Amino acid sequence: MDSTTPEARLAALALEPIALPVFGSFVAAVRTGDLLHTMGHWPLRGDRPVTGTVGAEVSLDDARDAARLAALGLLGTLVAHLGSLDRVRRIATVTVTVNATPDFTQHTAVADAASDLLVDVFGERGHHARLAVGVSSLPADLVLELTAVVQVTEA
């Protein structure tokens, strides 16, 4: 495998995409033209979601690990919908929503962990615009959710 492909970079990092289930009245991704809009991806460790509030029982380092796991969930959705990460032309935007205490202010440091992973996997194509925000709660007490808009190529 070519070491410049996203799959080869993932293998070199000893990482694998994570397939997330879909709960509720939505789908994992919707394609409009050459853009793929994704659902919110939560961090999954084994078969359990990572939960808690950053700035309380979840440390910055643990939140960064959770952001990487959520990015691996995004990669799993991309593989499921595109068949190959090679079809990603560009990660256009990423939004990371962090379940945080009111005094926590390092949302961008949490989101950087996901952003860095996407750049590691896609190279220049992984550089993206981003929003990182904090909220007082997320469904099921998830520690964070990550969503993206991805420009894709035809099969």
Q: What are phi and psi of 24, to 5 degrees?
A: 105, -165
In the chain, what percentage of residues exceed pLDDT 90?
Answer: 90
Name which of 49, 61, 46 is nearest 23 in CA terms.
Answer: 49
When pLDDT is averaged across residues 41-67 and rounded to a whole number, the result is 97
**pLDDT value, residue 1:** 42
At 23 the three-state DSSP class reads coil
pLDDT at position 41 is 97
Taking the C-alpha atoms of residue 115 and residue 36, their distance in angstroms, rounded to an integer, is 18
Least confident of 12-16, 20-24, 26-30, 32-36: 20-24
pLDDT at residue 21, as a whole number: 85
- Domains (ranges, CATH) in the chain? 6-20+29-152 (3.30.1330.40)
| Beta-strand pair 129-135/144-152 | unpaired
Mean pLDDT for 51-65 is 98
pTM (predicted TM-score): 0.96
Q: Give the pLDDT confidence of 59-110 residue by residue, as tens digits.
A: 999 999 999 999 999 999 999 999 999 999 999 999 999 999 999 999 999 9
Report residue 95 CA to chain centroid gap. 9
Closest CA to 128 of 118, 136, 120, 138: 118
Given a cut of 50, is residue 5 above it in pLDDT?
yes
